[in-house]
Structure 1
Amino acid sequence: MTAKMMDTSMTMKGMQAMDAPAMGALVEACSACEQACTICADSMMSMDMMGADMMQCLSMCLDCADMSNTMMRLMLRPSGYDMPSMMAMMTACKTMATACADCCTMHAEMSEQCALCAQACMQLAEACEGMMTAMKAMS
């Protein structure tokens, strides 16, 4: 649905159509990552004893949730795309998602939420890479 809406929006404004499947995949991955990171952070907050590494992971999850939401919102406003800015944002989002995945992977054995969060973060990093590849092909 999101990809169809974005494609229609760009066509109505006479913009060059972006890769709708890559855009849709990125928007969906951003949404899933934001949700997973928020749930993971909440789960960590409810733990009785939390060491410094878990505090760092909690903070990383909250930051990644915010980054995911911002990236998603930017993708939903295609009329304002500026190629260099979007590429920089996707690079930052991919970097944040990868860092969060690495952090949550360290706790995956003791927390199912961390394992799922790591998976969602890696899917977001892959979706960012896919969208960047599609955008490079357009230029």
Structure 2
Amino acid sequence: MDAIGMPAIDPMTMQECIEACSACEQACTMCADNAMADGMIKCASMCMDCADVCNTMMRMMMRPSGFDMAAMKAMLAACIAMCSACSDECGNHAEMSETCRMCAMACDACVKACQAVLEMMRESEAA
């Protein structure tokens, strides 16, 4: 932890996670629109929810000086869960929809980036 109680997290890892959340939000928004047009309501809804969660996660990470450890860890876990679920749903349509394939890939990248930040936070706490 640093002097103000923030965990020691590599700024580059945080930036990579912010960028992954942004990319996932964009991919999910595009996929939701496409899925809605194709009548895939569950996929569209899942993508809209994932876009919202990614946006919130990204915004929380952009204000690191005031975050609460427990809240940040819970939000990272929620983002991981939502992106995993969205990736699974979009993966079901990936062969017939390029948008779903790209969305699943963006979700998977976001999961990995959030897991990296979460792991750093856990290591920082243990130190």
Say yes or no: TM over 0.5: yes
TM-score (norm 1): 0.83
Aligned to 2:42: 56
Number of aligned residues = 124
Instruction: Give the ranges of 4+ consecutive aligned residues of structure 1 lying more than 4 Å apart after TM superposition.
Output: 13-17
1:123 corresponds to: 109
Contact 2:32–2:45 under 8 Å retained in 1: yes
Seq. identity, %: 52
Deviation per CA, 1:83-111, whole angstroms, max 9, x where unpaired?
A: 11100000000000000000000000110
Which amino acid in 2 is paired with 1:113? T
Quote the residue 2:15 is aligned against. 24
Cα gap change, 1:84/1:106 in structure 2, threshold over 3 Å: closer, same or farther?
same
Partner of 2:89: 103
**Match status 1:69 vs 2:60:** no
Aligned-partner Cα distance in 1 for 2:6–2:47: 35
Q: Report deviation, 1:23.
A: 0.3
Distance 2:85 2:27 in 1: 15
Aligned to 1:80: 66
Tell me the CA shift for residue 46 of structure 1: 2.1
Q: Which structure 2 residue ranges, 5 or more long, are not aligned?
A: none
2:19 maps to 1:33: no
What root-mean-square deviation, in Å, do the aligned CA atoms of Structure 1 and Structure 2 show?
1.8
In structure 1, stretches of 5+ residues that fail to align are: 1-9
Q: CA deviation at 1:21?
A: 1.8
Relative contact order, higher structure (CA 8 A, sep 6+): 2
